Amino acid sequence: MVVIGILGHGEFPEGLLSAAELICGKQEKLFTAGLHPGDSPEAYAERVKTNIEKYGPDAEVLLLADLKGGTPGNIAAMMLSDSVACLTGANLPMLLHILLSRESASLSDLVSEALKAGLEGLTDLGAELRELK
């Protein structure tokens, strides 16, 4: 099973996980890492690294960061390896797809499928409803 790390500013990671668990139930092999005022980038990077390492050297890890170019996303980029991937722009449809697929999907398949699910979750609902009329 792929390990999931949710990274972001403030309480975003915990909020995203809370919403996902409301739908999918309690999750395992998952960690959150919120960046809070006063956290140094170095300390935050160490916290993320420690969370990744606790799953062992053979673990495959998918990091979801809230924002491309933000500190959490930049720290995630520093963690990239053959067994650690990262997606930015994390959203609930993306996370739900990952949680429902991660037991059977490879890391590379999970990355491409999650990206697609995240994009498909973005819509102009008003325009869609007008098309139905």
72 neighbors 65 (Cβ within 8 angstroms)? yes
pTM summary value: 0.95
Q: What are 41-99's pLDDT values in tens digits? A: 999 999 999 999 999 999 999 999 999 999 999 999 999 999 999 999 999 999 999 99
Backbone φ, ψ for residue 77 (5° rounding): -60, -35
Where along the chain do its domains lie? 3-132
Q: Rounded to an integer, what distance in angstroms lies between the CA atom of residue 45 and that of residue 28?
A: 22
| CA atoms within 13 A of residue 26's CA, in its CB half-sphere | 1
- Assign 133 a pLDDT band (cuts: 50, 70, 90): confident
Span 3-132: which CATH code?
3.40.50.510
**Other residues' Cβ atoms within 10 Å of the Cβ of residue 35:** 23
With vertex at residue 1, the alpha carbon angle to CA 8 and CA 93, rounded to the nearest 5 degrees, is 45
